[in-house]
Amino acid sequence: MPGGLVESQERPQEGVFAVVSEAFLLEQTRAFGQMFEKGSFLMSQGTIKKVVSDRGFGFIAAEDGKEYFFHRSGMDTSLNFDTLTGGERVTFDVEQSPKGPRANRVRIA
């Protein structure tokens, strides 16, 4: 059948609407990985968890349950690093760095 749907005589599991081909999923995963490796980003939201003011960096607890490093140079002008105390709601982009994913373009939510 077209669109990656599989015709079957069996009744589908409850809540399952379509079966997507493994090749399609692999292609999409590969494309996303290439975008991420090239520095593309995903927009996220979270809360400033910790600020290390004397070293110019901090950590954001994101809504996706992950924690992201950020540096003062990656902040938008809507935030002043020197006044951060923790608990501020922020929006940020996740980008790949040599040490792994990090928050960039951190701005007030």
16 in any annotated domain: no
Burial of 11 (0-12, 13-18, 19+ CB in 10 A): exposed
In the chain, the number of structural domains is: 1
Q: Is the per-residue pLDDT at 37 higher than 50?
A: no
Residue 76 domain boundaries: 42-108
84 within 8 A of 48, measured Cβ to Cβ: yes
pLDDT class of 85 with cuts at 50, 70, 90: very high
Q: What is the mean pLDDT of residues 33-51?
A: 70
In the chain, the amino acid numbered 25 is: L
CA dihedral 53, 59, 63, 65 (to 10 degrees): -150
CA 11 to chain centre: 36
* Model pTM score: 0.61
* CATH code, domain with 103: 2.40.50.140
Query: pLDDT tens, 16-25?
Result: 545 556 666 5
DSSP state string for 96-107: EETTEEEEEEEE
Other CB atoms within a 10 A radius of the CB of residue 81 amount to 17
Q: What is the pLDDT of residue 40?
A: 46
23 in any annotated domain: no
Q: What is the pLDDT of residue 7?
A: 53
Query: pLDDT tens, 45-65?
Result: 999 999 999 999 999 999 989
